[in-house]
A and B are shown apart, each in its own frame.
Chain A
Amino acid sequence: MLDDFMTRALLAGLAVAVAAAPLGCFVVWRRMAYFGDATAHAAILGVALALGFQISIFIGTLVVALMMAMIVSVLAGRGWAMDTTLGVLAHSALAFGLVAVSFLPAVRVDLTAYLFGDILAVSRFDLGVIAGGALLVLGLILWRWSALLTATLSEDLAHASGIDPARERMVLTLALAVVVAVALKIVGALLIAALLIIPAAAARNLARGPEAMAFAAALIGGVSVWGGLQLSLMQDTPSGPSIVVFAAGIFLITTLGAGLVQRILER
């Protein structure tokens, strides 16, 4: 069954979508969208280093994404406004990565695959790594769910309940770095943040509670992966943007739908 590239692509995509959904909810609730962007864009630098030092792309991306996430955490709230800090870091990381890739000797690197994803080229080994990373993230978020949610509401409230908000931030940082590393193959560095945010935002229009929102985000992410995969296969479009186009479509539908329901209820 895993010999079929379509099956592998679908499974890998679904794994990433399901892992990204609850994490994406926290990115939305904690207003970390730019944080996700900065971490994801750093992945290209990770790719360049991995190719340069001939180590696994997954490891290279994971390490650089983790470093980036740490730098952002440390710099947060020092001097510049947060969005300026993140804007500087996100785009610098991408630029450094692209320049670094161009220095690589003799290797012909197909950057498109790393920037926009190449879901149809997921190998058995890739699938194993992606599924493992996705399970790790999902397990981490589910394990810390209540504490994360409390720390998201208020750090003081978390402290009073015996929860260390700094530790919960670290959990999210770690999860984000792993998601970036496993999602690179699926949606590409430029659109990883979109896979985190758009399903969660679309789910917000449907859900009445935090758990329901995470669950709906996973469903929406899964449907988007499936749709994007079909589009990519039939029209030979890049996989990442195709998936994000589907997610954006669902966002539009749920937003319009929620507005309509609201209007009917108010009548």
Chain B
Amino acid sequence: MSLITTKGLGVRYGGRHVLHGIDFSIDRGEIVTIVGPNGSGKTSFLRALLGVVAPEQGQVTRAPGLRLGYVPQRLHIDPGLPLPVARFLSLPVRAPAAAIKMVLQRVGVGDVARQNMATLSGGQFQRVLLARALLSQPDILMLDEPTAGLDQPGVASFYRLIEDVRRETGCAVLSVSHDLHVVMSASDRVVCINGHICCEGTPQVVRAAPEYRALFGLGTGGALALYQHQHDHDHDHDHDHSEHVDAG
């Protein structure tokens, strides 16, 4: 059976109906990406799947005993809280030192265990968040804009890591992202949300869908051009890719 299924899911946030009529499911080993413009409700969708917000309509069904690994968009740690990386990875369940060492090496930051979380760079921080999610040996990884604030090579290598993890562990990956061009090429399925599901399918199908084009624009100046980008050249141009498609 599917890991998580929603039927007619509707979610209210801040007195507004942000989502309605969402039928969705994700299977073991699938990489699914949710895209959508600002305020489209994609973060609310993820929060409903996590169980943070209760559905207003419809239902969310999780497979029994489902283990979730959640990678939040960012984590604000109060400067008053001294928190070494190893301790963070042991929250809420204490993990053995050997497991901590192994998972940190796996995500490529083997030497930060004793560092304070506040001293990590943006890329290291995201990898530590991923390491924490992996420690629980999740059936599904849920990532909310996990690469916000990383540069292009950082984003690309983060998603390569996610793909490797999926291959090794067979877990499903559900991410919400605005780094469309990188994420979409790594996805099995893309779901475009704007209050409801506009279109879904393989990245190629979604790219060609008129609903998607209506949301993200057409032509060379729009987001679409970015997908045809070949990433074999230097990114020395200074404009911000995400400005066209910045989604929240």
Contacts and interface: CB of A to CB of B under 8 A. Distances in A.
A146 B52 CA distance: 19
B82 A160 contact: no
B78 A146 contact: no
Interface in B38-54: 47, 50-52
Interface stretch (B24-32, B84-92, B222-230): B84-92
Contacts of A29: 78, 80-81
A159 B92 contact: no
Interface stretch (B67-75, B157-165, B182-190): B67-75
B77 interface: yes
Nearest to B94: A146
B75 A154 contact: yes
Contact of B92 (A163, A208, A210, A212): A163
Contact of A213 (B68, B82, B116, B144): B82
B142 interface: yes
A147 interface: yes
B215 interface: no
B52 A159 contact: yes
A204 B70 contact: no
Contacts of A210: 81-83, 87
A31 interface: yes
A149 B78 contact: no
Interface string A36-66: 0000000000000000000000000000000
A150 interface: yes
Given A29-B78, A204-B80, A204-B82, A209 B87 contact: yes
Nearest to A197: B80
Contacts of B77: 153
Contact of B80 (A28, A149, A150): A28
Interface in A144-162: 146-147, 149-150, 152-161
Nearest to A146: B92
A159 B51 contact: yes
Nearest to B84: A209
B82 A207 contact: yes
Interface size class of B (residues with CB under 8 A): 20 to 34
Interface in A96-114: none
- For the residues of A in contact with B, the DSSP-based class is helix
A207 B87 CA distance: 13
Interface in A137-177: 146-147, 149-150, 152-161, 163
A130 interface: no
B144 to A, nearest CB: 8
A156 B83 CA distance: 18
A91 interface: no
A156 B77 CA distance: 14
A201 interface: yes
A121 to B, nearest CB: 34
B208 interface: no
A209 B72 contact: no
A210 B85 CA distance: 12
B79 to A, nearest CB: 9
Contacts of A156: 47, 50, 52, 70, 72, 144
B178 to A, nearest CB: 18
Nearest to A201: B80
A149 B69 CA distance: 18
Contacts of B68: 160
A160 B94 CA distance: 16
Nearest to B46: A156
Interface string A177-209: 000000000000000000000001100100111
20 contacts: A28-B78, A29-B78, A29-B80, A31-B78, A146-B92, A146-B93, A149-B91, A150-B92, A155-B52, A156-B50, A156-B52, A156-B70, A159-B50, A159-B51, A160-B142, A161-B93, A161-B136, A200-B80, A204-B80, A210-B82
Interface of A: 28-31, 146-147, 149-150, 152-161, 163, 200-201, 204, 207-210, 212-213
Given A28-B78, A209-B82, 10 more contacts: A29-B81, A30-B78, A146-B92, A146-B94, A149-B91, A153-B77, A154-B76, A159-B51, A159-B52, A160-B69
